[in-house]
Structure 1
Amino acid sequence: MEFIIESLLTPLGFFSDPNRRLYWVYLLFSLFVFLFFVFKKNIYCEIKSKAMLNKDSLWLDVKLWLFNSVIRSFVGLFAFISLSATVLLFVKFLYIMLPHWSPLQINYTIVTVFLTFVSFVVFDFLRFFQHYLMHKVSFLWHFHQVHHSATYLTPITLYRMHPVENLISAFRRIGGQTFVFGSFMFIFGSSVNVYDIIGVNAISFVANFALSNLRHSPLPISFGLLEKVFISPAQHQLHHSSNPKLTHSNYGVVLSLWDKLWGTLVLYNKQDIKYGVKNLHLQNQGFYHQLITPFSLCLQQYKSFAPNLKSFIRYPFNLIAKTGENIHEV
């Protein structure tokens, strides 16, 4: 009974956990910036009006956040055990492959700085690449559209995810952490760590503090020329546009360098943005509808490929979007 109560109270922990984007320190700073821009530009009434018009979308954000956070609390312990086990197994595998390896004797501070930087860059790239695949592989896009179906953005929109996408993200996190921390344990010995601020990678803390919550907000804050290096709130808002040319751009989380390399970088230039998706099935903001529809769309797509044995065998690799627009408007 105690565990159930703790699970139901899990959403409250998002505001006290520095690893969460909704940590109260990040939110407080974002709120100051938000209010500054709102009153400077005198757009309070406009923002309030849009929020009221999109209240169904706002409520779905909250429902999915609460639903996913409770589910995550039930699997959280398993995920922690899995991460510990996979790191140790990966280190053991490396020793089997290189049985005569001896850990390098390098200054602890140097190793810590290096690990802090490498872990941030690798994890940021993996988030970018997962996001890229969620758009380019159509059966993944069916689930990711739940996030893009938001017609109004708030910090809680970050957690407007289908549980299947949350599961994929969990595997990505475990895989990335296993590779990075396992590799460093093998190369430098078991006593490796990152520089952190209240338990968070120092670089990630700064990134979360620096307006990350305004990525999902009605304020198009641009970084100017720095957008060629860092994803700004305005760039991510372009990504949430219902215009496919903008939707399939700016996949990065912190660094925009990955988008530059993949040819998907779009700089903010005061473009008009209408949020949402073209998919009529997912314009419905019903909670159960959003949970079930992606499975229905996947089943429809599977049936369309099944008659063709060659396509069936190659499934899901033949589901990679050929034109982007066609599949994303199904």
Structure 2
Amino acid sequence: MDLNTLNNFLTDIAVAPFTGGSRLAWPFLVASVVLLFAFLLFSANNAVLRGQARQLLTWRYWLNGQSGLDLAYTLLNSALKLWVLVPLLASQMVATIWVINLLQQAFGPGPDWQLAAVGMAGLFTVVFFLLDDVTRFALHWALHRVPGLWHLHKVHHAAENLTPLTLLRVHPLEMALYYCRSLAVVSVVGGVFIYCFVGKVMAWDIIGINGFAFLFNALGANLRHSPVAIQFGALEKWFISPAQHQIHHSVQPQHHNVNYGSALAIWDRWLGSWRSGAEAIDLKFGLSQGQPLRDHPSTSHSPASGQIVR
């Protein structure tokens, strides 16, 4: 590998987590700052939020061992995704074409449904967003409830200091699972729609990102991994707020097994795992000392069952 190739390789690794539709892309970071200032100015509990937001202005919040681990996992997973997963599992376009071919072999030519462009774009956008969100929820639930998967996911929950980079602090195998989930959703939804509408498929996109996903990322998604417990009030019945996700990271026993959702709160409500952001008071994050595999119904308290120790 010559120096130019190495330089391009390292640049791709460093830039990939912050470009395209990534939650860490600069437009979403700016949007999170704007939203934070809006809540600091107009929220009923702005005094509490100001105290929490002051942590963001300290060097200890950004420069510590925990944030160093966040960055290390971010770069490692970026390299593995770009140089292993994508070449190994194929791109979204290739997977979508495979789904279309499979449907054609099974059912013959597509039905060529007719629908106004605006209606079709709306239908595609909504279906994709819902399937993407519910599969995120299902995988996240499994990462907590299946003992073997929890051993992967606890890498993420071990973070005691939440920053936007904590989003990417995940075990490489967990990252691979999420990549496969995303690949499946994109290829299945895209393939089915292209097959049914014979290629005339479009979506409501904003800068190339699903419209609903764009709004989710813009409306404080980066504040989910932060010390600032922004609540959405009555809207939390429908949408997961930053405060609700911070409760999910809490070490307090009453907060285990709750708020698995990414964007929508309806899945948690149906499962009975929904908690209000109002419970986000004096939260501590990480894994409790001597804490058992808390999220497995089958886990006993015997030493053989395994203990998670920070």
Q: Which amino acid aligns with 2:266?
A: L
Q: Deviations over 1:42-70 (max 9, x none)?
A: 52655667945982112111111122112
Gaps in structure 2 of 5+ consecutive residues: none
- 1:240 counterpart residue number: 249
Amino acid at match of 2:102: F
**Which whole-Å CA distance do the structure 2 matches of 1:117 and 1:325 have between them?**
42
- 1:136-170 Cα offsets, whole Å, 9 max, x none, are 10100001000000001111110111101011111
In the alignment, structure 1 residue 96 sits paired with structure 2 residue 71: no
Q: Which has the higher mean CA deviation after the structures are superposed, 52-61 or 204-213?
A: 52-61
Question: Counterpart in 2 of 1:12?
Answer: 15
Q: 1:225 aligns with which of 225, 234, 255?
A: 234
Distance 1:244 1:202 in 2: 36
| TM norm structure 1 | 0.80
Confirm whether residue 250 of structure 1 aligns to residue 259 of structure 2. Answer: yes
Name which of structure 1's ranges 59-68 and 83-92 shifts more when overlaid on structure 2: 83-92
1:177 paired residue number: 186
Separation in structure 2 between the aligned mates of residue 84 and residue 191 of structure 1, nearest angstrom: 16
Q: How many Å apart are 1:30 and its aligned residue?
A: 1.5
Distance in 2 between the 1:249 and 1:321 partners? Answer: 13
Alignment map for 1:125-140 (pairs within 5 Å): 125-140=134-149
Residue 13 of structure 1 and its aligned partner are, at CA, apart by 3.9
1:114 to 116, 123, 145: 123
SS at match of 1:9: helix
Counterpart contact for 2:124–2:193, Cα < 8 Å: yes
- Alpha-carbon distance between aligned partners in 2 of 1:126 and 1:116, rounded to the nearest angstrom: 15
Q: CA deviation at 1:268?
A: 1.8
| CA-CA distance at 1:325 after TM superposition | 8.1
2:28 equivalent to 1:26: yes
Q: CA–CA distance in 1 between the matches of 2:247 and 2:89?
A: 35
Tell me the equivalent position of 1:303. none
Give me the whole-angstrom Cα distance separating, in 2, the residues matched to 1:187 and 1:126.
Answer: 22
Sequence identity percentage: 31
Q: Go from structure 1 to structure 2 and tell me whether the alpha carbon gap of 1:328 and 1:192 turns closer, same or farther (over 3 Å shift).
A: farther
The one-character-per-residue Cα deviations of 1:171-230 (angstroms, maximum 9, x if unpaired) are 111111121111111111123121111110111111110111100110000001110000
Query: 2 CA distance for matches of 1:279 and 1:172?
Result: 32
Matched, 1:199 2:208: yes
Any unmatched runs of 5+ in structure 1? 283-296, 298-319
1:73 aligned residue: 82
Aligned residue among 286, 299, 302 for 1:276 = 286
Query: CA 1:37–1:110 in structure 2 vs 1: closer, same or farther (change >3 Å)?
Result: closer
Instruction: Give me the CA root mean square deviation.
Output: 2.9
1:106 is paired with a residue of what secondary structure?
Answer: coil
For 1:142 and 1:220, locate their aligned partners in 2 and report how far apart those are by CA, in whole Å. Answer: 27
* TM-aligned CA deviation for residue 100 of structure 1: 5.8
8 Å contact kept, 1:136–1:324:
no
Question: Which secondary structure state, in structure 2, belongs to the residue aligned with residue 269 of structure 1?
Answer: helix
Find the aligned partners of 2:258 and 2:59 in 1 and give their Cα distance. Answer: 25
State the shift of 1:93 in Å: 1.9
Change (3 A) 1:172 1:3: farther
CA distance in 1, matches of 2:39, 2:226: 12
Which deviates more, 175-184 or 54-63?
A: 54-63
AA aligned to 1:117 is: V
Question: How many angstroms apart in 1 are the aligned matches of 2:36 and 2:245?
Answer: 16
Conserved? CA contact 2:97–2:191, under 8 Å = yes
Displacement, 1:32? 3.4
Question: Which residue of 1 is the match for residue 72 of structure 2?
Answer: 63
What TM-score do you get using the length of structure 2 for normalisation? Answer: 0.84
User: 242-251 or 21-30: which moved more?
Assistant: 242-251
Does structure 1 residue 322 correspond to structure 2 residue 297?
Answer: yes
Deviation (angstroms), 1:102: 2.4
Query: 2:144 and 2:306 mapped to 1: Cα distance?
Result: 8
Structure 2 vs 1, CA of residues 199 and 182 (structure 1 numbering), >3 Å: closer, same or farther? same
